[in-house]
Structure 1
């Protein structure tokens, strides 16, 4: 089972709006309440004072060892949501796979001459998609939980140019995001963004994304890049709202943890898309 991280290849350069580039340092924390944002380097009310903190206040800070269990839980639950999304929603984006499944259903009728068996064929195909989606995504999770998500400090906190943040709401970790610097092309990759499903719809993901952009600007990276296999359009709209532009992708992507067997390729297909936000020209 191959567990390496997916490679990012970005081609198109898009210049970001200046108002999206907010200065911040790796050690800064961010307090967000309603529509206002502060960094810890500017005057702001103390977020630890109970008479100040409101229920809608989201506090962005660096990862700490005590966050490990909650971080892994949020990551795990977010990835597990991909199983039904990939198996059922994903097929709506795969016209060739739809055609192939229709052809297989017709072949079932030609061979069996049984209307009942033919009617069962689509359900069997969908069950097979769910089985292989579950198998592949569990393998992917095993890879991630044995590599960077097993030792966040080693992968993200110790290396220069990388970092890992958590979003805290009412004292509870509700979201995560990472930035991993790449010296070869002077870019930083936005990784591992996920928000607890119970706290979605509050703009937490956007605040986490902006934290990565601030980090990239402060550390003089030329661009922020990311790769995603998300099926839901909401994720893609989020990236675009942050200023990212799609630069390419693959319809036949090999997710880390895939074996590449014929049956796996028949019942599991995933679309991989690359995004880039150019911060400055080089």
Structure 2
């Protein structure tokens, strides 16, 4: 029933029918927990194909390795054409398998820490918050802020929007909440990190005012075992973004 309501509301937004529904962003409440965890998990599961397939063209070193192995198989091990022809499929399957394994490991870590104990991590802590975006009372997006008083920065994390509501301003509304939190709490900088290869994710952060401050190639996320297969097939870029929030106007966004 809830899925039908969400689909109906999404259709209205995308088609522009009637009055545009109002997206409301509020702090996490205990009754939001199931929906928050669902959106977070769905967003992470999308990362499997993103890192396995879309990310491949961003890693020439991996492509060189795969080409070298294919050449060795063709010239040394076998000359059977159908075996050689299967190598690209084997590579893609290997990348998908390893990406799935790493993402599942990351999810397990997250669910055993903050995302499994949201109220404890984000409601009871004065330096952290988690917000949800709702439409007609249904949760359609989430974002969190984790403050580091000593270092003087807040981290934007756990950003995820229901795929049916993307490009509708949900991500911007959530992002501004984090920036407002940083300003009111006296943080000088907001930082974030992402391994997403989808252009839309990077465009969102750039529209919010973030600038890329560095890229780590070969980033090892929590949950990775660093086995030989993962070293070969799971290689991602971790983009670091930062934004000085001292002088940015947030009123009237």
- Shorter-chain TM range is 0.7 to 0.9
Q: Structure 1: how far apart are the matches of 2:223 and 2:129? A: 25
Does residue 67 of structure 1 match 2:63? no
Secondary structure in structure 2 of the residue aligned to 1:149? helix
CA contact (8 A) 1:55 1:170 kept: no
Report the aligned-residue RMSD: 1.5
**Which is richer in helix?**
2
> Structure 2: any 5+ residue segments left out of the alignment?
1-12, 14-18, 248-253
Give matches, 1:113-152, under 5 Å. 113-152=79-118
CA contact (8 A) 2:183 2:246 kept: no
For normalisation by structure 1, the TM-score amounts to: 0.79
CA distances 1:132-180 after superposition (whole Å, capped 9, x unpaired) = 1111111111111110001111111111121110000011000000011
Counterpart among 49, 70, 89 of residue 105 in structure 1:
70
Counterpart among 136, 151, 157 of residue 191 in structure 1:
157
Give matches, 1:25-174, under 5 Å. 54-110=19-75, 111-174=77-140
CA contact (8 A) 2:23 2:134 kept: yes
Q: Residues 211 and 224 of structure 1: is their aligned pair in 2 closer, same or farther, counting only changes over 3 Å?
A: same
CA contact (8 A) 2:132 2:141 kept: yes
For normalisation by structure 2, the TM-score amounts to: 0.88
Structure number with the bigger relative contact order (C-alpha 8 A, sep ≥ 6) is 1
Give structure 1 regions of 4+ aligned residues with deviation exceeding 2 angstroms: none
Q: Structure 1: how far apart are the matches of 2:120 and 2:149? A: 17
Give matches, 1:203-218, under 5 Å. 203-218=169-184
> Structure 1: any 5+ residue segments left out of the alignment?
1-33, 35-53
Aligned residues: 230
Identify the residue that residue 19 of structure 1 maps to in structure 2: none
